[in-house]
Each structure stands twice: as C-alpha cells, then as structure tokens.
Amino acid sequence: MIEDIKEMPNNPMEHDKFIPDTFNILGKRGIRRIDGFRKASGTATYTRDVILPGMLYARWLTCPFANARIISMDTSRAEALPGVRAVLRYDDPEIHGRRIPTLHGGEEDILAGYAYFQGQQVGAVVAADTEDSANEALKLIRVEWEERPFVLDAREALEPGAPLTRPEWWPEGNLLPLFFQPSSFFRFGDVAQGFKEADKIIEFKARRRYHGCSDAEPLSGITRWEGECAELWLHHQHPYEHKWMMNMWFGMPMSKVKINSPYNGAMFGGWNWIDYGMVPQYVSALLAKRTGRPVKWIFDRRDDFTFGSLDAMESEFKVGVKKNGTISAVKIKSFFANLSFEAGLHFLENSRVPHVESETLVAQVNKGPVMAIRCEQLPPCFAFTHVCNHVAAELSMDPIEVALKNDGADGQDMTQLEEFKRTHGFPVRDSLRECIDAGKKAIGWDEKWHPPGTRKLPNGRMHGLGFMWDHEWDENRGAGAAGLMIQQDGAVSIIALRSDVGVNAESTYCSIVAEELGMRYEDVFLRQQDDVHLPLMTPDGSCNLTTNGYVMKKLAKRGKQKLFELATTTVHLIERDIPPAFPNMRPEDLDIKDSVIYAKEDPSIRKTVAEVVKDVTGSFVQKHEYGAIQNTTHEPVYVWAYHRQGRLGKEPGRQRLCRQAHFCEVEVDIETGEVEVTKVVNVNDVGKAMSPETVEGQQYGGTYMGVGRNRSEEYVWDPQTGVLLNGNLIDYKMNTMLDVGPIETIIVETGLGLGPYGSVGIGEDVGNDTTYLLHGAVYNAIGTWVDDGPITPEKVLKALGKAEE
Amino acid sequence: MSEAPIDRSRYQCPYCATTFDTFDELKSHVIAEHKTEPLRRPEGLITLTINGEAYEVLVEPNWTLYYLIHDKLGLTGAKMFCDRGACGSCTVIMEGRPILSCMTLAIECDGMHIETVEGIARAGHPLIELYVKHHCMQCGYCTPGFVVTAKALLDRNPSPTEEEVKKALAGNLCRCGTYPQHVKAVLEAAHEMASLSEVEEG
C-alpha cells in the first residue's frame, strides 16, 4: 500500500497506474450531489448573503467619461450625510499615489484620480450603514473632471497620432507589452516554405467583439478585524492566496488571517485574474480598520460590467493548403484590445500543421480590463475554428474530412501521438475519430450535409450544418493539499479549503475518497468553505479535478493504512492494555468495503469503521462523558496528502491526447437575419467520467454559454461618448431556456487523459469552443461568411447584401 | 419562522406600560381600558404572511420586498443577480403568483401572503428532491428562483406540457446553462404529484 503511494504519478506525462478494474461509485449515475439540497432549498450561503452585525457597505464612485482625470473633488456633503461612516478619497495621505501588490505578480492603484473607461471605479469610496446611504452619498460628491480624448478600437489606438488611452500608465503609447506571451511572434516551422508547398492560398479576416462574464452573483467581499486578526469573506476563486495578500498589504502573519469561502455564484475566471480584482478587498480591509466595523464592498450589476473576455480581437489569416485538405502553413496577424492570448496555439497542440506564424499586437483602448472568462483558450479556438472552416469551404470538402486530415500535434501526424500513447502507458485509441463517429450519427451528418446555401426548408428558412473540433484542455497542472480525518462516529471528513468553482466538485472528491477508502459515499463529507489552512487546488483558472483527484486518491490510501493500523494495534492505557478491534492480525490482513472492515481470510470477522475508530474505553457508552472529552484513548485517524501535477499545463514533450467535436444545426431566416439553433451535439472524450451527470452539465451548460456568446453577447459602446450602453442583463443578451434547441451530450471515455483514472477536465472547453460553433453552420446555410462574432441578425443581412454596411 | 422579528416593546401602552404583540391589540386595549382616541397606526407598519407565519414589520418606503425578506428577515434563498427584473432569481410567490421581489416595494405588500423557497422546501415539495436528482444546479445561485417559479406553475397548472414548463421558466436566467434539467425535474414533479393525489383520492 505504501508502495502504491510512492509510485503515484507525479510526472504528468504518465498514465495513472492505479486504476481499479471495477468501480463501485465513480462513473455511476445517481450519486446524490452534496450541495444539491442546500442549493435547491435556498440555504446554501453566498458572500452576497452574508450580513454581519454592525457591517458597513462600501460603494465606489464611477467615472462618467471614457478617459478622464479628476481636477478637484468635494466630498463634504457626502461626509455629512447621516449614516456615512467613512469616505476614502484618492488623495488620502495613506493611499495617495500608492499601488498595492496583487495576485499573479501585478500591482494596481488603490484608488486612482484618473479613469480609463466609463464606469471605472475612481476617486472615492463611501462606507455607510446601508447600501442606500452609501449610494446616496456618492451622488453628493462633486467632481471637476478633465475630459480627455478616447479610443475604443484596437487598430485605431495603434495608429500614429492616436490619443493616449492610458496617459499616466503608458505615456509612451498605446501598444502594450505582452502578458501571456514571451514575444509578439509565435512561430514554428517556416511559413514561407509552407506556402510554397501549398496548392492553394486562402486569405480572410475574422473578428470577435468584446463580451463579458455576467457572473450570477454580483461581486462583493467582507473584511472584519478582531484586534490584530482579520477575517475575510470572499467571492473569489483564490481564497488561500488572500492570506498572502493580507500579509503583503498589512505585514501581518498569514496565521492571523481567516478565510471564509462561501459558495460562488458562477465565476468562470475573469475578475479573479484581473489585478484590479484584488483592490476592493484591500479597500474594505482598510476601511474596516479605520471604522472598527466589518466592511462589505459591493458591486451592483452595472459595476460587474467593468471587465470582459480577452478575445476582443480582429485577425488577418493567410492559409496554405494542399488539395487533399492538409494545411501546410498558417499565418495570423491579430489585433487585441487590452490583453491577448496566443491565437496560433492550437495549431501546435492539436494539429499536424507544420508551419505557423502568429503575430500579436495588443492595444490599450478605453474599455474595461479583459481576462480569461471560460477561458484564455478563446483566441486559439477562434483562430483554429475559422481556419478549419475556411479550408473546408475553399476546397468544397466536408469539414470533418479536414479535421481528420489535420489531427496531430507539434506539426506531426498521428504516428507521433500513437508512439507517445504506447510509451507512456496509454491505450492506443483514436480519440478524434471516436468523437466524430459518435457525433455524426447523433446529428445525422451524412444524411443532412449539403453544399453551402443549397437547402431551403419548407418554412422558408435556410438550413445549415456546423462542425468543429479541438483537443480537450488536458491542462493538468498545479498542486493541492488536503487532510482526511475519520471522526469518532466513523464519519470521514475531507479537510481542505477551496472555492466552489466548477460543478459538483465536493461530491466528486467525496466519491474518489469513498471509492478508494472503501467507505460508503454518504459517510464522506467535504465542507470546502472552511479555512483549515490546507489549500486544495482551487481553480487556478483551468484545473481542479485532475490535480485534486490525485490528492484524494493519496488521502484515501493513507487513511486506509492508518485505519488498519489502528484496527490491529493494542492501545496502551496507563492502567491497562486494550486489545485491538482485530486481535492477532496485521494491517495487510484487512480490507474494507461499504464502511465495514473485514478479515480477508474470513470476511465473517468484521467490524464497522465506527466501531473501530470510536474511543476504545467506551466511556461515552458508560456515560462517563468527562473522560471521553478529556482523555481520548488513541490518536485520531488523521492523514494528509499533497500532490503536484506538472507545472504550467504543457511541458515540452507532453501531449494532449483527448479530443472533442461539436455539431450543430441552424435555420437562418433570410428575411430577418435571425439564426435559430435547432440542435447541438456535444461529444467530449473526457478519458474517464467520474460523475457522468457533472460532465453532461458542463456540456449543455457550456453550450448555452457559448451559443449565446456566438449569437448575441456583446458589450456595446456609444462611439460618440465612449459610454457603455448595455451594462445590464436586459440589454446584454445571454441565452435563456428558449434560445437553443435540444442539446445531445455524448461522453467518450478512452482513458487517454493525464488525470486520475485517465481523465481530463471539461469545465472550460465546451463553453469556449461553442463560442465559435455557429460560423460554419451559418456559412453552410447562406453560402456566405459572417466571420464577425456575435452573429447578429444585422450582420447576417449585411452578408446577404440586404442591409447596408 | 419561530422568531418573528416583532419588537414587543414597540407596542407598549403609553398609559399603563402593558406590552402587546401587535398594534391592533394595543389599539383595542387603549380604547377599552383608557377610553381615549385610538392611536395612529405607525407609517410603514405592514403585516404580511410569509410561509404561513405572520410578520408585522416597520418598513421604509424605499425598501424592496427582496431587501425585506433577504436582508431583514434572513430568508436568503431569494437572490440578487440582475438587480433589475431581468433574471427571476429573486422570485417569490405572492397571492399565488410568482413575482420579482426586487421590483416590488415592501410597503405595498401589506396584508399579502408570500411563499419563499424556504417555505417550499420546508413543506417537502417534491420539486426540491427532483432538483437534486436531476442536477438542476451548478453554482446554485439562480436555483431557488427557478424552484419558486416552477412551484407557482405547478400550483396553477398541475400537469403542464414541456412547452408550458419552458415558457414558464423562460424568464429565469442561469449563467451555468442548467436549463434542460429544470424541464425534466418539473415534469417529473408534476407526474409524482399526480400519482400521489390519485393514491390519496383512491
């Protein structure tokens, strides 16, 4: 058993070596969700719900202009308003000109006297007895602004003579240094050579408009001080890291910071990664210190529209392709607004395209910050899908054929991947082909596929069929730690702090422990909200289960060992010895199933875990409660485990082996330009589905998000004033129940993942991929491209020549 | 709610210091015992029934029903998501109709009967367990709003069609995209309740 633990793969290139032949819990349907009743009955608590005695509410002044500086500010009337307890000004001596360190090595203004987009938090924060009083006080603040010219478009911002979009931050110009990428050129192979080898050169442009998170629970957080100790309530993905932040901000030991991480109303990254996302928590801590009261900072729905997704981009493509559909070269030039992620990446990680060059230019524009919102892979999905779509169309090929012709990695075909599978302990299966076979059948591809713009339905609309493919995000990185304790009644507690991001994680972690430990599922519990100082991998952005799953496996193996040792060890009390539950046996003589320990040789010799772990003097039973509390007879069954799984997601030589494919059917009304999505089929090879319902949840859930983004989600600014016009959920259109036809979800399980039991994560990829799913389908319907997402009716009509540019 | 937020000292008789649970009791007492003019009912005092429990509360004219039940009464199942009547997460049932508590002034709810998700759960409505079974929640923030909307639908239409369920729930937003599961849970609840009532009638 100890050997098992030692050999558990730390090297993320290896296949999990410890996969049982049969499973009792994992992979089964109908495992009751741990958070289900609490969430359905309204008793699950979110940070937004937390109200502490004496709590103040902090609200920010926001800038009415797209680019402006405060000349002077009069807060006297706000300060005089009854119920206002503090007004923090940008020129406050304690914070004036100061920037604070934030997560991920950044730093940020605490409260600036200038703003770079309309709606930016700026100038003043009011803390008052009620939210209403704080809002009222904000209206009483008089500001003299210096309005400055602004730029909303990335290309315009990079033109010579463009106004400075962030004059204090970047006085030298609007071109930003790259954050995620080492250089503005991403290259492999030699594109010139690739174009020479091509039979055909294809050139086109595509664009994606700025969209956002629309997370369900508006942002908030609380700080309360008890003397030198601080307690935080966080609606944030990185709870443990806030201890570090408090250490850096206030010079306090991390041991004096307590974190509460209640349930999170839909996060998807975004805010958690923006440096500015740390500032409100700092401000609440500062104001709580000054006022001696707990301070809750609150963003309203409009404030939540402060940030967006990092695929606000426009790209020029040049693609070299051979007659048989093999892509020989891809050249991309992309203009991003405010932040970028490498658009060419999936050609390297997911195709045999040998020559790629991708240039990235990022301009600061006068819009809010952008970040990974389910997730940073949006730009590569955008580029990969548009290129595959256009290649198929130009060659009049079935896009599925193009996919199979180009699947691979590192510019090499499937031979390399098959060799990797063989040498690293994976089954040699063709994931993409399995996904495609399942999906084609489900959507009826062979019967329905037709040349573009050729199938008019009886209802007068044009029918379109769409397809896209990608690898699964086998990010598989990071580290987690957790404890496990078997309580005296036999209940198993997983002890770890994490944030509730992802779906049904608590149940899945408990399932792994129950499966591996031999406990009944209902005997294992995790309350991830509690600060127990052991940080599980909480979404670093992309991976949880694949890392934490290994932590759970290790915990269960260690817990089992410890339990069997207790069951076979005599307890030496001062006055007497108490024989073990299983006398004259060694730990290796025992096994456990359904929370009952039994002798392997004679399973009729059995005791429940509760009987084994209880206080062995039985003092509770003898009504000697004092003795039980003061004098437990043996050390608790407590173990802990740590697991590190890779470093950055994909070290050199490590391959992503699982694939996904998505199919859709649309009907386009050529009179109104409306695109109706009548069917979607998601096929995901997740390697091993530990909780099938959860996997499906990420599939249809991601599709609702992605299709909404592809069809209607977009922030709209007034070009004259730079004011965001639709910062609310009436005018910013996310999908409702009626907006997507039936979604069929298919799970493929090849075991080709690098995570435990051969799994990969699935939280981000469907939402990401389906953000670009409809472009091919709309082209197939109307025979002309709408390469500008979202695909609004207006753009469809323009593409059809029925509306003016 | 066992601990209704009634400040008993508020209804103290100014003449003899006897205290009363409700304003109306105090009023009767003053008229009967002290033979004086009836006291004026405090402005903003409303009575309402929430999940079968009587509440008497003094509200400010700008308080929404959401603020009253969530922030003041601690019934936090109603959630603030859109803040503007766009998402249905704050839905409660008032006089049998699902309403948006963020768009309703508390002061206008005097005399109303209100049902929240907490009451629906406490009554053991089959929707709750079926929501768990069908994984109708992911982050769970919008889930109570769906439960309340669905309960109101089943109250007025015990055997809805799939289309009717979708139409009834179309005003509830879910960012996680749990939509398909709600339809399954609501239809199954309707079926379960129909079988139950058949048994009861039989």
Reported confidence tier of residue A803, pLDDT bands at 50, 70, 90 = confident
Reported confidence tier of residue B191, pLDDT bands at 50, 70, 90 = very high
- Residues A634, A659 share a domain: no
The answer to the question of residue A319 being in a domain is yes
Cis peptide before A229 (omega within 30 of 0): no
Question: Domain tally for chain A?
Answer: 4
Element (H, E) at A363: strand A355-363
Query: Given CB atoms, is A741 within the 8 Å cutoff of chain B?
Result: no
The answer to the question of residue A36 being in a domain is no
Domain extent at residue A352: 173-212+307-409
Asked which of A321-330, A525-534, A712-721 is least confident by mean pLDDT, the reply is A525-534
Query: Given CB atoms, is A729 within the 8 Å cutoff of chain B?
Result: yes
Q: What is the pLDDT of residue B3?
A: 44
The answer to the question of residue A39 being in a domain is no
CATH number of the domain where residue A74 is located? 3.90.1170.50
Instruction: Give mean pLDDT, residues B136-152.
Output: 98
Q: Which residue on chain B is closest to A738 by alpha carbon? A: B170
Asked which of A14-18, A491-495, A617-621, A686-690 is least confident by mean pLDDT, the reply is A617-621
What b/e sequence results for A32-50 when a residue is b if at least 16 CB atoms lie within 10 Å of its CB, and e otherwise?
ebbbbbbbbbbebebbbbb
Instruction: Give mean pLDDT, residues A87-114.
Output: 92
Among A692, A37, A696, A503, residue whose Cα is nearest residue B127: A37
DSSP labels, A15-39: PPS---SS-SSTT-S-PPPTTHHHH
- Residues A359, A277 share a domain: no
Show which of A379, A409, A439 is a domain's final residue: A409
Q: How far apart are CA A64 and CA A61, in angstroms?
A: 9
Could you give the count of Cα atoms lying within 13 Å of A315 in the half-sphere of its Cβ?
34
- Residues A317, A230 share a domain: no
Q: What is the pLDDT of residue A650?
A: 65
Strands B53-58 and A675-685: unpaired
pLDDT tens sequence across A256-314: 999 999 999 998 988 888 888 899 999 999 999 999 999 999 999 999 999 999 999 99
Residues of B in contact with A46 (CB under 8 A): 79, 141
CB A748, CB A722: distance < 8 Å: no
Reported confidence tier of residue A457, pLDDT bands at 50, 70, 90 = very high
Strands A308-309 and A370-371: parallel
CATH number of the domain where residue A582 is located? 3.30.365.10
The answer to the question of residue A160 being in a domain is no
Instruction: Give mean pLDDT, residues A550-567.
Output: 96
The answer to the question of residue A341 being in a domain is yes
Domains along chain B with CATH numbers: 1-42 (3.30.160), 45-201 (3.10.20.30)
Q: What is the pLDDT of residue A624?
A: 47
For residue A103, pLDDT over 90 is answered with no
Question: What's the sign of the alpha-carbon dihedral A511, A516, A522, A526?
Answer: negative
Asked which of A134-138, A302-306, A347-351, A641-645 is least confident by mean pLDDT, the reply is A641-645
For residue A9, pLDDT over 80 is answered with no
pLDDT tens sequence across B26-73: 888 988 998 887 677 789 999 999 999 999 999 999 999 999 999 999
CB contact under 8 A, B179 and A704: yes
Tokens of B56: 């008497």
- Residues A660, A741 share a domain: yes
Query: Given CB atoms, is B136 within the 8 Å cutoff of chain A?
Result: yes
Identify which of A33, A43, A216 has the shortest CB distance to residue B142: A216
Q: What is the pLDDT of residue A575?
A: 75
pLDDT tens sequence across A403-425: 999 999 999 999 999 999 999 99
Q: What is the pLDDT of residue B61?
A: 95
All residues at 6 or more sequence positions from A97 whose CB lies less than 8 Å from its CB, including other chains? none
For residue A4, pLDDT over 60 is answered with no
Q: What is the pLDDT of residue A326?
A: 98
Query: Given CB atoms, is A229 within the 8 Å cutoff of chain B?
Result: no
Reported confidence tier of residue A14, pLDDT bands at 50, 70, 90 = confident
Q: How far apart are CA A762 and CA A589, in angstroms?
A: 40
- Residues A678, A795 share a domain: yes
Query: Given CB atoms, is B186 within the 8 Å cutoff of chain A?
Result: no
The answer to the question of residue A35 being in a domain is no
The answer to the question of residue A162 being in a domain is no
CB A226, CB A232: distance < 8 Å: no
Q: Which residue on chain A is closest to B121 by alpha carbon? A: A41
Residues of A in contact with B181 (CB under 8 A): 697
- Residues A670, A756 share a domain: yes
Q: Provide the 3-class DSSP secondary structure of residue A540.
A: coil
Strand order in the sheet with A185-188: A185-188, A355-363, A327-337, A313-321, A200-208, A788-789
Reported confidence tier of residue A476, pLDDT bands at 50, 70, 90 = confident
Reported confidence tier of residue A802, pLDDT bands at 50, 70, 90 = very high
The answer to the question of residue A717 being in a domain is yes
Query: Given CB atoms, is A43 within the 8 Å cutoff of chain B?
Result: yes
